[in-house]
């Protein structure tokens, strides 16, 4: 039998030929029975149960708003193309199983349609779609067509050769505009049915970057500073020791702004104390090169901070979005183990420190992961698409990679490193900085509440 469904939808089963139950001609793609919804996920030991951090008198209203927002999220991200299709064994029907893509509101021949059947006095096939119309053109004598120009097309002939010639001329025309959706086409002969996907997609214009001839046209260095001008100046001096002309972008939300001068430096002032992620967003938004290198304002470039080596890996593996290095020998990285869970409770997330996956082809000391340390090279457009949630002001790093899970391909390498400046008492703002740097309980509670709603999580574990 054919079974096709997607999570949370109904399921329809089409009988196999052995049942000898022909499909009625008014058969549709409408599901007929429920598929059991996904069950609850299992929180790892030591997880934080997030609903315990929602005020009890607000929980019911928050949960209701979250459920509504989840349905809107699914409407945006799940399409008919997510439905599972299982093919009949020994089917006489030939049809495209992958790769048939049409532009919205355009006409496209359906490739590969054919019937392979034993001798009969007559051959009759039926095609059904829901988001387009079916037509044929320039048909030979000896084939009867019904329903051309609608969502249903019936073709019949006493000659299999003539019928297959007609099937090769079936045209699908999308009748809806959508940038990325799909249709499911039903192809039937006697008691056989095949269902195949038609992707309806608006082609995207490429956004290409002219890399130029040197590292200065490849990469922009970006950082965020707050009450740490002495450290920032040491960082800039170390950068200029190795990269005299590379562009540096600084997002600054200090209370008493200090102008940083020098060539190839752009400093953007913000209202005071806007926070870590707001500053990252500002800095990243101003990058015009293909890549950006993120560094903290108290890092220190050394002879081992070879940006070119990171670019080499990114260019060799173009699917990569983020590539982390090491900070003073610390190659911090982590994996994110996520189960979606059921709709009312939410998902389970485990951030596993030093969790990694397979090595990169040709780079055995570089591994795929889900998150890396604060020293990383990234594709500018990929970072801009995910963005940094400005609600997170002081408790934030892993959260960017959580938001990018499933859309950012992340890796870590140990052959490029940067140092961390030694802590000194030379900063007159060190006390005030520490009061902002060390989060209070309210910040932690806010982050947990944000994970509950925004990421639809039941629990989270940091391991």
Confidence label for 428 from pLDDT (cuts 50, 70 and 90): low
φ/ψ (deg, to 5) at 337:
-100, 115
Distance CA 279, CA 393 (A): 9
User: Is residue 64 situated within a structural domain?
Assistant: no
Tell me what pLDDT residue 100 has: 96
| Of 125-129, 254-258, 415-419, minimum mean pLDDT range | 254-258
3-state secondary structure of 145: strand
Q: Is residue 194 part of a domain?
A: yes
CATH code for position 336: 3.90.550.10
Confidence check: pLDDT of 1 > 70: no
Residue 273 CA to residue 279 CA, distance in Å, equals 9
C-alpha to C-alpha distance for 40 and 446, rounded to whole angstroms? 25
User: 243 and 142 share a domain?
Assistant: no
As a whole number, mean pLDDT of residues 417-431 equals 79
Of 155, 172, 201, the one marking the end of a domain is 201
Tell me: do 195 and 219 sit in the same domain. no
Question: Per-residue pLDDT for 101 more than 60?
Answer: yes
- CB distance 322 to 313 below 8 Å: no
166 and 284, same domain (yes or no): no
pLDDT digits (tens, 9 = 90+) for 317-332: 999 999 999 999 899 9
Q: What is the per-residue pLDDT across 221-262, written as a single tens digit (0 to 9) for each?
A: 999 999 999 999 999 999 999 999 999 999 999 999 999 999
User: What is the pTM (predicted TM-score) of this model?
Assistant: 0.85
Q: Is pLDDT above 90 for 381?
A: yes
The residue out of 201, 226, 247 marking a domain boundary is 201
Whether 253 maps to a domain, the answer reads yes
Structure tokens at 398: 């892993």
Q: Are residues 452 and 332 in the same domain?
A: yes
pLDDT in tens, 323-370: 999 999 899 999 999 999 999 999 999 999 999 999 999 999 999 999
Band of residue 307 on the pLDDT scale cut at 50, 70, 90: very high
> Is the pLDDT assigned to residue 430 strictly greater than 80?
no
| pLDDT above 80 (res 93) | yes
Q: Same domain, yes or no, for 295 and 347?
A: yes
pLDDT grade, residue 455 (50/70/90)?
very high
The residues near 330 (Cβ < 8 Å, ≥ 6 apart) are: 373
How many C-beta neighbours within 10 Å does residue 166 have?
Answer: 24
Contact 417, 305 (CB under 8 A): yes
DSSP symbols for 202-225: PPPPP------SSHHHHEEEEEEE
Query: How far is it, in rounded angstroms, from Cα 224 to Cα 226?
Result: 7
Q: What mean pLDDT, rounded, does the chain reach? A: 89
For residue 112, what is the domain's CATH number? 2.60.40
Q: Which domain holds residue 119?
A: 81-201
Q: Is residue 323 part of a domain?
A: yes
Residues 248, 108 within the same domain: no
Q: Are residues 333 and 455 in the same domain?
A: yes
Residues 394, 264, single domain; the answer is: yes
pLDDT on residue 427: 63
pLDDT > 70: what percent of the chain? 89
Residue 290: inside a domain: yes
Asked, for residue 372, whether it belongs to a domain, the answer is yes
How many separate domains does the chain show? 2
Helix/strand/coil for 233: helix
For residue 446, pLDDT beyond 70 = yes
Residue 63 counted as domain residue: no
Structure tokens at 389: 């949630």
| Shared-domain flag, residues 165 and 292 | no
Take residue 84 and report the two structure tokens written for it.
Answer: 């599972």
Strand 359-360, strand 363-369: pairing: antiparallel
Same domain, 196 and 247: no
Give the pLDDT of residue 78.
Answer: 85
Question: What is the C-alpha separation between 379 and 363, in angstroms, rounded?
Answer: 19
Going by C-alpha positions, the residue among 113, 78, 93 that lies closest to residue 6 is 78
- Whether residue 220 is found in the same domain as residue 195: no
Q: Is residue 158 part of a domain?
A: yes
- CB within 8 A of 76, min separation 6: which ones? none
Beta-ladder partners of 462: 351
In 3D space, the residue among 85, 114, 93, 92 whose CA is nearest the CA of residue 182 turns out to be 85
The residue-averaged pLDDT of 395-409 equals 93
**Which of these three, 177, 201, 225, is where a domain ends?**
201
Residues 151, 281, single domain; the answer is no
List of residues 6+ apart from 132 with CB closer than 8 A: 102, 151, 172, 173, 174, 175, 176, 183, 198, 200
Whether residue 31 has pLDDT greater than 80: no
């Amino acid at each position: 039998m054919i079974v096709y469904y997607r999570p949370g939808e109904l399921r329809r089963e089409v009988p196999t030929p052995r049942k000898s139950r022909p499909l009625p001609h008014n058969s549709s793609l409408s599901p007929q029975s429920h598929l059991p919804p996904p069950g609850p996920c299992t929180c790892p030991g030591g997880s934080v149960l997030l609903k315990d951090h929602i005020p009890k008198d607000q929980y019911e209203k928050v949960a209701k708003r979250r459920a509504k927002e989840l349905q809107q999220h699914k409407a945006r991200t799940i399409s008919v193309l997510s439905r599972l299709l299982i093919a009949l064994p020994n089917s006489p029907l030939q049809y495209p199983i992958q790769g048939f893509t049409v532009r919205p509101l355009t006409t496209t021949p359906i490739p590969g349609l054919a019937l392979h059947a034993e001798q009969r006095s007559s051959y009759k096939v039926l095609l059904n779609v829901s988001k387009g119309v079916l037509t044929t053109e320039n048909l030979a004598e000896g084939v009867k067509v019904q329903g051309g120009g609608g969502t249903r097309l019936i073709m019949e002939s006493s000659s299999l050769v003539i019928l297959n010639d007609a099937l090769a001329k079936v045209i699908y025309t999308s009748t809806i505009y959508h940038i990325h959706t799909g249709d499911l086409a039903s192809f039937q002969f006697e008691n056989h049915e095949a269902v195949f996907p038609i992707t309806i997609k608006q082609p995207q214009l490429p956004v290409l970057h002219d890399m130029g001839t040197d590292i200065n046209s490849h990469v922009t260095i970006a950082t965020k500073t707050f009450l740490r001008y002495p450290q920032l100046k040491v960082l800039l001096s170390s950068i200029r020791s190795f990269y005299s002309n590379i562009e540096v972008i600084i997002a600054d939300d200090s209370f008493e702004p200090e102008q940083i001068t020098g060539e190839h430096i752009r400093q953007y002032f913000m209202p005071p104390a806007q926070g870590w992620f707001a500053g990252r967003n500002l800095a990243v938004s101003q990058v015009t090169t293909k890549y950006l290198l993120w560094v903290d304002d108290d890092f220190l470039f050394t002879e081992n901070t070879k940006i070119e080596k990171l670019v080499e890996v990114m260019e060799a593996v173009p699917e990569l979005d983020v590539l982390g290095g090491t900070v003073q020998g610390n190659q911090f990285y982590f994996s994110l183990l996520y189960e979606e869970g059921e709709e009312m409770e939410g998902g389970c997330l485990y951030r596993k420190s030093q969790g990694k996956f397979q090595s990169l082809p040709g780079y055995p000391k570089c591994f795929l992961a889900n998150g890396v340390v604060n020293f990383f090279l990234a594709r500018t457009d990929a970072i801009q698409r995910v963005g940094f949630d400005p609600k997170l002001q002081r408790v934030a790093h892993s959260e960017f990679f959580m938001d990018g899970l499933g859309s950012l391909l992340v890796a870590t390498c140990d052959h490029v490193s940067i140092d961390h400046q030694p802590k000194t008492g030379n900063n007159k703002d060190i006390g005030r900085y520490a009061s902002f740097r060390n989060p209070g309980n309210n910040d932690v509670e806010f982050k947990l509440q944000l994970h509950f709603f925004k990421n639809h999580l039941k629990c989270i574990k940091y391991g």
